[in-house]
Amino acid sequence: MAAIYYAGDSTVKYNKISTYPQTGISQGLLWYLRDSVEMRSYAQNGRSTRSFIHEGRLALIEKEIKKGDFLFVQFGHNDEKPDLERHTEPDTTFSENLLLFIEAARAKGAHPLLITPIARRHFNEKGVFLPGSHGAYPEAMKRTGERAGVPVIDLTTITEQYLAVVGDLASKAYFMWPKDDTHLKPEGAVLIAGFLCQELKKLGSPYADLLEEEEITKENEGLDVS
């Protein structure tokens, strides 16, 4: 049985009833996976690449991940934060940390995948979506993946384009609004996991082999956000 080890922050985290309705992408992704694929979500609230590694969470993954497994790496929300425990610079420490994740997967014969952070739901007073909430981090991740020969799924661009299309009012249904505009409700986690799966299918084997053979969902059919 192949397993997905998912490293990330609160937008990815597998939530419990105590934080309902907040739902992470790793939970939404379960709807799309083959029964033979196991989800091992190591994502935790507030983590950056720096704090995730320093707390020994990558080391825990390294102990368990095996040949043929997958390591999904999705960070950016907290690498931006100014505190010393979490902050990284896009083209230096952020990129260097991502390479540590890649090396950990490859050392065990697993398949690494980089995923840029989802967009924050930011609109101005006229209801116009405001992109760019993650600054230089998404592009830095894409450059790192290109240099390392690792696929990168650009969920930042995909979700920015989607939010710009659906608008301020409709997008509230997918986020923890009015509490915040970063974290997802169940509907949002399933929707964005669907976007992720569309990109996994484009990558082909072995990434596409993780998914159910049926089409992604009626909700996502015909939606061009590339």
Domain regions of the chain by residue span: 3-210
Residue 222: the pLDDT is 47
Average pLDDT, the chain: 94
Rounded to an integer, the average pLDDT of 19-37 is 97
pLDDT above 90 coverage of the chain, percent: 93
Rounded to an integer, the average pLDDT of 71-81 is 97
In this structure, CATH architecture of domain 3-210: 3-Layer(aba) Sandwich (3.40)
- When pLDDT is cut at 50, 70 and 90, the band that residue 185 belongs to is very high
Instruction: Check if the beta carbon of residue 75 is closer than 8 Å to that of residue 7.
Output: yes
Q: Three-state DSSP class for 166?
A: helix
CA quadruple 175, 129, 44, 42: dihedral sign: positive
Q: Three-state DSSP class for 102?
A: helix
Tokens representing residue 99 in the block? 């390479």
Model's pTM, two decimal places? 0.93
- When pLDDT is cut at 50, 70 and 90, the band that residue 213 belongs to is confident
**What is the tens place of the pLDDT at every residue in 134-149?**
999 999 999 999 999 9
Residue 2 or residue 225, greater confidence: 2
Rounded to an integer, the average pLDDT of 35-61 is 97
Instruction: Check if the beta carbon of residue 149 is closer than 8 Å to that of residue 142.
Output: no
Residue 220: the pLDDT is 52
Residue 68: the pLDDT is 98
Residue 218: the pLDDT is 44
Task: Say whether pLDDT at 1 is over 90.
Answer: no
Under DSSP, the state recorded for 208 is G
CB atoms within 10 A of CB 209: 14
- φ, ψ (nearest 5 deg) of residue 166: -80, -25
Sequence-ordered list of residues with C-beta below 8 angstroms from that of 164, at least 6 positions apart, any chain: 129, 131
